[in-house]
Amino acid sequence: MDLAQQQNPLVSMEPDQLERTPPVDLDLTENIYRSPRERFIAFLLGACAIISILTTLAIAAILVYETARFFTDVSLTEFFTETRWTPQFLEKHFGIWPLVTGTLLITIIAAVVAIPLGLASAIYISEYAPSRLRTWLKPGLELLAGVPTVVYGYFALTFVTPILQGIVPGLNIYNALSAGIVVGIMIIPMVASLSEDALRAVPRSMAEGAYALGATKIEVTLRILVPGALSGIIASFILAISRAVGETMIVTLAAGSTPVLTLDPRASVQTMTAYIVQISMGDVAQGTVVYQSIFAVAMLLFLMTLAMNLAATALIRRFQERY
């Protein structure tokens, strides 16, 4: 009995509480670790963990189902070879290319802005910045990452576009350039923080070895640290580009809604995400081909971002194994 009380597993109780607890008649043959209560808790927690799997399955099922119905009305050949996207006209054409080039154009402009600036910031923060400045710069970049995308959309349309119109002749009010630049600004923090993590993961001894051989700081940075962290840095580029492809509000507000096949950054374009939002804002009846078309576009978007995310994950894993 005395022994049973000492093995009382109520570890979370305060000492005075323990004293007040009446002596319990513990049955030591009972396995408390596999009691129905413990099993129920494990089951409940496991059920919650399944929800994330169900989410993926639900997304996949909905996209596949509606996309399949879309392709009973529109042939795959038309989808991938037609160059006009006019679902809301009387004469409907469903060629995906205008939306794809619109998305690509924005993404390329964003990458041109974000990759050099993000990588340079990562190098500065991890190698050059004095530690006191770093404690200010990192939260500053996090703030930039925390700005809601609709705010960036406002910024692109009401601030960046008017300035660019003074510089670039023939710039449309809604244009790919302004939206692309602001999407680029939005993903800078992502490139910077992931690249910085990669740079910091390179063993310090490698840098010290290079210093010992007489290399200068910039030589150590560019020839030892950056190549050493390369797979992590490239993974950060891919993840950021995937974010740019999936970005919605900035392009909806600032890039316009005209799906045309062009690579002219001054023109108004429509991205895949902006099309999805445009159609869902109007009241489109369920079961029509226009309603189903947003699922087909979403399917393509999902596959593109999924491929990029998987590639980045694989790169990061390889890079973690190396050190």
User: How far are the Cα atoms of 62, 88, 249, 287 from residue 292, in angstroms, in the given order?
Assistant: 11, 13, 22, 7
What is the Cα–Cα distance from 38 to 139, expressed in whole angstroms? 42
* 309 burial via Cβ count (<10 Å: 0-12, 13-18, 19+): middle
Q: To the nearest whole angstrom, how small is the minimum distance from the Cβ of residue 216 to another protein?
A: 5
Measured from the CB atom, the residue of 74 and 250 that comes closer to another protein is 250
Q: To the nearest whole angstrom, how small is the minimum distance from the Cβ of residue 249 to another protein?
A: 5
Measured from the CB atom, the residue of 129 and 290 that comes closer to another protein is 129
Strands (E), the chain: none
Determine contact, residues 84/98, Cβ cutoff 8 Å.
yes
Q: To the nearest whole angstrom, how small is the minimum distance from the Cβ of residue 205 to another protein?
A: 21
Measured from the CB atom, the residue of 83 and 133 that comes closer to another protein is 133
Measured from the CB atom, the residue of 176 and 188 that comes closer to another protein is 188
Q: To the nearest whole angstrom, how small is the minimum distance from the Cβ of residue 103 to another protein?
A: 11
Q: To the nearest whole angstrom, how small is the minimum distance from the Cβ of residue 233 to another protein?
A: 14
Measured from the CB atom, the residue of 15 and 214 that comes closer to another protein is 214
Closest-CA residue to 248 (of 179, 312, 200, 294)? 179
User: How far are the Cα atoms of 11, 27, 188 from residue 196, in angstroms, in the given order?
Assistant: 43, 56, 12
What is the Cα–Cα distance from 323 to 127, expressed in whole angstroms? 19
Residue tagged 């030591």 (tokens): 28
Measured from the CB atom, the residue of 84 and 201 that comes closer to another protein is 201
Instruction: Provide the β-strand partners of residue 85.
Output: 94
Q: To the nearest whole angstrom, how small is the minimum distance from the Cβ of residue 91 to another protein?
A: 27
